[in-house]
């Protein structure tokens, strides 16, 4: 028994890329994911690009850069202002939440998040009622002649809508900063203001930058609010809408959508691969020591002032929504009435049930795809996984307007492959399921990214040896996944469902081009009511929708508690 040197020549041959021959099941899962990604992103985007590159589409693009520069310019301006305001406010809210001590911190947290779970028109409509030309506060209380329509209103409303994103992002980073860092700075004699500007801010710069970029893209892509509040202020997103709804010129719309798509993808790449790498915060391990609250009045007073003002605005607006649903015309005729809710019950009940069932289908499907993608990325294809991860995340990188238009283009007609019809028409009133399938598709596409992120994070924490133990005991790949992996990442799966459901129920921008008269969705019903000036009905709808979202959140949170309790018990 000695070692042999006979077969040494073998050592120089290129090693296999894979460590273990893959089970057919893995290929099956990969096939499902690839087909889903092609169906949800690939086909819509490629149809959109094709339509955008027709002569009509190119003409629209040329016009947008030459003769009719206003929408492009306005979109840029709007995006920059919203991103700036939202990031600053988001930072201050997060800073107060993490570093200051004051009563009502928990409540503040939920109030800050409220715009995230409410339908897009809620804020805009309430804003008009309270601060518009005949607004309760601006006109009746202060006697001002102030108009919200145009840039000023849009900036405030969009900033309100998207600040929660910045807040969550920045808060996570602030919380992960090691408190001993601040202790060290203090021990070296730094004042709290000095620490804020020389330690805290530089360290959260990646989060600030990421938030700025996300908000910019969201603001530029938002369609709902410019429709309600834009007035003469034309932006690219609303131009796209009017090109379709007004002139039926889909190619022109596609061309304009391409102008939105490119910067959005650029921002996404910068944010995902550059800002993430620049992160200086250690995310592994528990931070040591405990945080000492900042007490310098030079910091606390201005921060709390902004926080209070912003929170007051949220309270006023959501108060208006709640009250507006039960008054005749809020601010004009304040008599209490049940008419709006009766309207919702009579004409809106189908919309409520349709929205709910489509959400109930879409959220788990989105979560399932998120789980499959995460499993492939983390466990099966460590290298190629980066590509899959990127493709899955496209659902949030592609602006809603663009995705929705892409769906309309791709699925309004049957899908053909090599001369064989593989899919009937899925979008539009005359399609199979009366357009519901396409809407569910959009919901799923939008649900995947956040779910994918949370499942990847969770799966990376699971010791791979546990799965190998199952394999070693004879379990097949499929059995291991089902009996071992999935139960271990239950909480992340529920979180994925929760985000997916919230997003589905509140989205309008992405489905505005594919809603049909037969398939009534609550958000588009709200748009109809707002358009018709029946704000009371819109308020009632909004309240019902917020209530439904809260119920869904409550149920999933309770399930989450149950699951995690059982595991730790």
Residues that bind other proteins (CB under 8 A): 1-8, 10-11, 13-21, 23, 463, 465-466, 468-477, 479, 483-484, 487-488, 567-568
Query: Least distance from C-beta 377 to other proteins, angstroms?
Result: 18
Report d(CA 368, CA 496) in Å as an integer: 9
If residue 425 lies in a helix (H) or strand (E), which one and from where to where? none
Q: Which is nearer to other proteins, 133 or 567 (CB)?
A: 567
Query: Least distance from C-beta 569 to other proteins, angstroms?
Result: 8
Q: How many residues in total does the chain contain?
A: 569
DSSP states of 80-122: HHHHHHHHHHHHHHHHHHHH---TTHHHHHHHHHGGGGS-HHH
Q: Which is nearer to other proteins, 278 or 567 (CB)?
A: 567
Query: Least distance from C-beta 33 to other proteins, angstroms?
Result: 22
Q: Which is nearer to other proteins, 5 or 335 (CB)?
A: 5
DSSP states of 314-325: HHHHHHHHHHHT
460, 407 contact by CB (below 8 A): no
Query: Least distance from C-beta 3 to other proteins, angstroms?
Result: 4
Query: Least distance from C-beta 1 to other proteins, angstroms?
Result: 5
CA torsion 411-413-417-423 (nearest 10°) is: 70
Query: Least distance from C-beta 561 to other proteins, angstroms?
Result: 16
C-alpha pair distances (Å), 240 with each of 119, 261, 323, 443, 535: 21, 12, 34, 21, 25
Query: Least distance from C-beta 456 to other proteins, angstroms?
Result: 20
134, 86 contact by CB (below 8 A): no
Q: Which is nearer to other proteins, 21 or 188 (CB)?
A: 21
If residue 420 lies in a helix (H) or strand (E), which one and from where to where? strand 420-423
At residue 147, φ and ψ (nearest 5 deg) are -115, 140
Residue owning tokens 């892409």: 406
Buried b (16+ CB within 10 A) or exposed e, 434-453: bbbbbbbbbbbbbbbbbbbb
Q: Which is nearer to other proteins, 205 or 490 (CB)?
A: 490
Q: Which is nearer to other proteins, 17 or 106 (CB)?
A: 17
Burial of 249 from C-beta contacts in 10 A (0-12 / 13-18 / 19+): middle
Q: Which is nearer to other proteins, 196 or 484 (CB)?
A: 484
Report d(CA 474, CA 386) in Å as an integer: 30
Query: Least distance from C-beta 488 to other proteins, angstroms?
Result: 7
Q: Which is nearer to other proteins, 132 or 385 (CB)?
A: 385
Q: Which is nearer to other proteins, 302 or 382 (CB)?
A: 382
At residue 339, φ and ψ (nearest 5 deg) are -60, -40
Query: Least distance from C-beta 288 to other proteins, angstroms?
Result: 24
Query: Least distance from C-beta 459 to other proteins, angstroms?
Result: 14
DSSP states of 436-483: HHHHHHHHHHHHHHHHHHHHHHHHHHS-HHHHHHHHHTT--HHHHIII
Query: Least distance from C-beta 465 to other proteins, angstroms?
Result: 4
If residue 333 lies in a helix (H) or strand (E), which one and from where to where? strand 333-336
Q: Which is nearer to other proteins, 347 or 562 (CB)?
A: 562
Residue owning tokens 């040896």: 465
Q: Which is nearer to other proteins, 25 or 73 (CB)?
A: 25
Helix axes 349-375, 522-531, angle to 10 degrees: 130
Residue owning tokens 């139960």: 487
């Amino acid at each position: 028994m000695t070692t042999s040197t006979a077969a040494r020549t073998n050592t120089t041959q290129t090693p296999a890329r894979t460590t273990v021959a893959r089970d057919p099941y893995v290929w099956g899962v990969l096939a499902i994911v690839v087909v889903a990604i092609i169906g949800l992103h690939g086909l819509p985007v490629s149809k959109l690009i094709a339509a955008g590159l027709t002569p009509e589409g190119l003409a629209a693009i040329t016009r947008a850069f030459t003769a009719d520069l206003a929408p492009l310019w306005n979109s840029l301006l709007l995006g920059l202002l919203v991103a700036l305001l939202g990031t600053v406010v988001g930072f201050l809210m997060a800073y107060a939440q993490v570093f200051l001590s004051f009563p009502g911190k928990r409540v503040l947290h939920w109030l800050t998040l409220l715009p995230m779970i409410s339908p897009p028109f809620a804020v805009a409509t309430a804003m008009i009622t309270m601060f518009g030309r005949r607004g309760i506060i601006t006109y009746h209380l202060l006697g001002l002649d102030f108009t919200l329509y145009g840039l000023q209103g849009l900036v405030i409303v969009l900033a309100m809508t998207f600040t929660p994103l910045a807040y969550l992002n920045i808060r996570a980073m602030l919380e992960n900063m090691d408190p001993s860092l601040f202790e060290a700075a203090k021990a070296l004699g730094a004042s709290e203001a000095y620490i804020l500007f020389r330690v805290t801010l530089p360290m959260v710069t990646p989060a600030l930058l990421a938030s700025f970029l996300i908000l910019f893209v969201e603001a530029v892509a938002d369609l709902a609010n410019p429709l309600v509040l834009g007035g003469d202020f034309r932006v690219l997103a609303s131009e796209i809408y009017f090109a379709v709804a007004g002139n039926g010129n889909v190619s022109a719309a596609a061309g304009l959508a391409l102008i939105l798509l490119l910067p959005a993808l650029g921002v996404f790449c910068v944010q995902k691969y550059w800002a993430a790498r620049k992160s200086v915060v250690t995310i592994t391990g528990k931070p040591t020591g405990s945080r000492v609250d900042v007490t310098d009045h030079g910091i606390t007073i201005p921060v709390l002032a902004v926080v209070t003002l912003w929170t007051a605005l949220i309270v006023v607006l959501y108060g208006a929504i709640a009250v507006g649903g039960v008054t005749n015309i809020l601010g004009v005729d304040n008599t209490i009435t049940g008419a709006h809710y009766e309207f919702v019950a009579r004409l809106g009940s189908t919309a409520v049930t349709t929205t709910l069932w489509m959400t109930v289908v879409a959220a788990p499907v989105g979560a399932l795809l998120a789980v499959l993608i995460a499993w492939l990325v983390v466990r099966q294809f460590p290298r190629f996984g980066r590509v899959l991860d990127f493709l899955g995340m496209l659902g949030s990188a592609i602006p809603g307007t663009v995705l929705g238009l892409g769906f309309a283009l791709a699925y309004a007609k049957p899908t053909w492959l090599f001369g064989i019809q593989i899919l009937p028409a899925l979008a539009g009133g005359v399609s199979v399921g009366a357009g519901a399938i396409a809407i569910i598709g959009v919901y799923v596409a939008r649900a995947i990214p956040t779910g994918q992120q949370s499942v990847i994070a969770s799966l990376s924490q699971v010791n791979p040896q546990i799965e190998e133990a199952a394999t070693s005991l004879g379990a097949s790949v499929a059995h291991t996944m089902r009996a071992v992996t999935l139960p271990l990442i239950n909480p992340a799966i529920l979180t994925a469902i929760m985000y997916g459901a919230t997003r589905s129920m509140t989205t309008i921008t992405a489905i505005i081009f594919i809603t049909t008269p037969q398939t009534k969705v609550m958000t588009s019903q709200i748009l109809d009511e707002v358009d018709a000036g029946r704000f009371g009905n819109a308020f009632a709808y909004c309240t019902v929708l917020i209530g439904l979202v809260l119920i869904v959140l409550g149920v999933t949170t309770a399930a989450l508690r149950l699951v995690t309790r059982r595991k730790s018990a």
